[in-house]
Amino acid sequence: MLTKNNYLTAVFILLILLFVFFQPYCVQAQESQNKTNIEGTPTFNQGILIIILLIFLLLVMFIWEPLPIGVISLCIPVILIILDFWTKVSVEDALSGFSNSATITVMAMFVISRGIQNSGAMQFLGNKIIKYTGDNEKKQVIAISGLTGIIAGFINNTPTVATFIPMVTDLARKTKVSPSKLLIPLSYAAMLGGTLTLLGTSTNLLGSQVSARLINHPFSMFEFTKLGIVVFVVGILYLITIGHRLIPERIRHDLKDYIEEYEIEKYLTEIKIAENSPLIGQDIGELLSNKGKNLDIIQLNRNNEKYMEPLELKTIRPNDHLVIRADYETVLEFAKINGVIILPEIKISQAQLENEITGQKVIELVIPDNSFLKGRTINNVNFLNRYDASLLAIRHGGEIAHTDIKNFYLREGDVLLLLAAENTIERLKENQNFIIRERDETETIAYKPLDIILSVGIAFSIIILASLKILPIPIATLAGIAAMVILKLIDPQEIYDSINWEVIFLLAGLIPLGVAIEQTGTAKFIANQILNIAGFLPDIIVLAIFYYMTTLLTDIISNNATVVLMIPVAINAADQIGANPFAFVLAVTFAASASFASPVGYQTNLMVYGPGGYKFRDYVLVGAPLEIIMAVIVPIAISIFWGL
């Protein structure tokens, strides 16, 4: 069986073979790196070949993810320096991503977003949505899309979606609407709203940095807002007229509880320990270690008391009742060998598992993009013992796993169904590695009006200071962090926890790659190859081609990686056909925020993948028409607003 290491070896062998194959076509001397032909196109040389192979390797690694994306990105500066003879990257260039204004601003905006969340502002707005929309699905889509998009335009769209997921799923259940109908609109609206201002998404900040470096034209705060408004309005109209009708109801809205929703009735069985059972006197931990991965004990019922994790040290006594998670064949075998009585007349329900007195509840735990659980299993991180919880099932998109789930490799957007105690639920709620959802949650959120005013005021102050150029954007956002700490809107320790370090490391690695793509002539070379095919077409068609190429690439890899790869190529193409390079920069930047046809291209799509119970094809069905519409609308709007 091929392992990840085998695949990695195969990728490197393929790269070596490609290098050997292209070697006869490469210029052997360093001086030829800068040589151009009579048309001004750089000769294909070793530097260009190495960068193309590096891009290919990164595409494979980003899609396959044998290592966390952040770790892969940190390797980029190292590789560029090792190959500096060809890549033309200095040590200062290789490390420039860490000190870059885009990196600093993105990092600061994660903290600002946490401060706003702490105030209860997002929950307050969510509560207003529930009161306004009632059970009218169309109103729900309008309210969720409109509010999410506007908020995402001024703070980072990723934490906006993370905050709204519990509210939207709660709204869906209370009004008997499938959450599947609402969560894709939530994600798409956040992506569309991110195009309204410079701070809406890290894509805009990174695009601004690349634009400043290559054509000396960074984005101002509201420079492309008029285009963003067009995109936002068109996208929302599509969602409320066509889009939500195309979304299937993957999660039914007429189910009584999580046990029914996750289809785990046949995997939960209650047994009674007989008087003569050989299990008497054994610890539950010892029992589980002997049974292996196909059986798990969820709950111990003794003398009308319910016990859950940690159960390992509980000693089994006669007449104990155990709730077991396993397929029925495993239960039958277990009963035959160990002298236990199966109680088929008892149907396990959510109410039976829960305990109001001790605060035991069944909850959903969503894995966001910055969670330490990504790429790991429950057993890898000793999660259940750490948080004193029992794992019932795992949802990955439209698929539900019931067996061997402790060894299930988790991805962002996966949903864990847990039985947890009240103190555990509170711990999980405070941890940014998770998004928590409780069915029929009746807890009243304690809004803090003064904190809401202060946190939102700080966010708007940052926008005003930056837009009026009183302070540079990175300095304004850092000042915002200081203000939030001073006003006790965020605890100093929360600063580190609120930052999505994977995004920061991604930016730090990709920025020097963009430098190498430009300095080696790779961008000009690739642009020339594209123009050899499409250069005879009108400029607006070439612009549309770059827009759609970027969108398709973003559907496969991350939006930030696509911006770094495509903006230099687009600028060189614009220069060669005599078009406005800034128009091409905008087209690529907006296209990188238009990954509607795939759950993997944009973080918010992955975040709703599990909670919505979606399948990959759902994104294609709903998102592909929107991508095509935007590929027409955006180039036309750019040509009107900025000219070609």
Consecutive sets of 10 residues in the chain, 644 residues long: mean pLDDT of each? Answer: 47 51 47 44 78 88 79 90 88 90 90 87 77 82 91 85 84 85 94 93 92 93 95 95 91 77 87 88 77 76 80 84 87 85 81 80 86 84 82 88 86 89 84 75 63 92 91 93 93 86 88 90 89 88 94 87 92 94 96 90 87 90 95 96 92
415 is a domain residue: yes
- The sign of the CA dihedral 354, 359, 360, 361 is positive
Residue ending a domain, among 453, 479, 501, is: 501
Answer yes or no: do 393 and 331 share one domain.
yes
Indicate whether 401 and 315 sit together in one domain.
yes
Domain that holds residue 347: 262-436
CA gap 120, 117 in Å, rounded: 5
In whole angstroms, give the CA distance from residue 593 to residue 51.
25
Q: HSE (CB half, 13 Å, CA atoms) of 427?
A: 10
Same domain, 388 and 331: yes
How many domains does the chain divide into? 3
Whole-angstrom distance, CA of residue 458 vs CA of residue 133:
30
Nearest residue to 184 (alpha-carbon basis) of 608, 636, 630: 608
Cβ neighbours for 413, distance < 8 A, ≥ 6 positions apart: 366, 367, 396, 397, 599, 606, 607, 608, 609, 610, 611
**Distance (Å, rounded) from C-alpha 570 to C-alpha 549?**
11
Q: What are the structure tokens assigned to 367, written together?
A: 């894995």
Residues in the chain: 644
Residue 71 placed within a domain:
no
Query: How far is CA 21 from each of CA 16, 49, 52, 87, rounded to the nearest angstrom?
Result: 9, 11, 14, 20
In this structure, the strands spanning 361-366 and 296-302 are: unpaired
3-state SS assignment for residue 376: coil
CA-based end-to-end distance of the chain:
54
284 membership: H or E segment, kind and range: helix 284-291
Does 496 lie in the same domain as 380? no
Is the domain of 312 the same as that of 460?
Answer: no
Helix axes 91-99, 501-519, angle to 10 degrees: 140
Predicted confidence at residue 114, as pLDDT, reads 87
In a domain, 537, yes or no: no
Secondary structure (3-state) at 330: helix
Say if 212 falls within a structural domain.
yes
**Same domain, yes or no: 233 and 312:** no
Answer yes or no: is 545 within a domain. Answer: no
* Residues 236 and 113 grouped into a single domain: yes
- Compute how many other C-beta atoms are within 10 angstroms of the C-beta atom of residue 106: 27
Question: Residues 233, 274: one domain?
Answer: no
Q: Which CATH number do you get for residue 270? A: 3.30.70.1450
What is d(CA 329, CA 479) in angstroms, rounded to the nearest whole number?
62
- Residue 635 in any domain: the answer is no
What b/e readout covers 545-584, taking b as 16+ CB neighbours within 10 angstroms?
bbbbbbbbbbbebbbbbbbbbbbbbbbbbbbbbebbbbbb
Instruction: From 609, 640, 611, 637, select the one nearest 623 (Cα to Cα).
Output: 609
Contact 145, 240 (CB under 8 A): yes
Both 432 and 451 in one domain: the answer is: no
Residue 297 sits in the same domain as residue 410: yes
432 lies in the same domain as 402:
yes
Q: Which residues pair with 341 in a beta bridge?
A: 272
Contact 539, 596 (CB under 8 A): no
Point out the domain boundary residue: 381, 401, 436.
436
Q: Is residue 581 part of a domain?
A: no
Instruction: Answer whether residue 588 is part of any domain.
Output: no
> Residue 146 CB: number of other CB atoms within 10 A?
17
What is the C-alpha separation between 8 and 626, in angstroms, rounded? Answer: 36
pLDDT at 13: 52
User: Helix (H, G, I), strand (E, B), or coil: what is residue 546?
Assistant: helix
Instruction: State the residue for tokens 């250069």.
Output: 535
- Residues ≥6 apart with Cβ < 8 Å to 409: 375, 376, 377
Q: What is the pLDDT of residue 290?
A: 64
**Nearest residue to 195 via CA among 236, 165, 163:** 236
Residue 177 and residue 215 share a domain: yes
How many Cβ atoms are within 10 Å of 534's Cβ, its own excluded?
Answer: 14
**pTM, full prediction:** 0.84
Q: Which pLDDT value is given to residue 35?
A: 44
Of 501, 523, 543, which residue sits at a domain end? 501
Helix (H, G, I), strand (E, B) or coil at 263: coil
* 17 close to 56: Cβ distance less than 8 angstroms: no
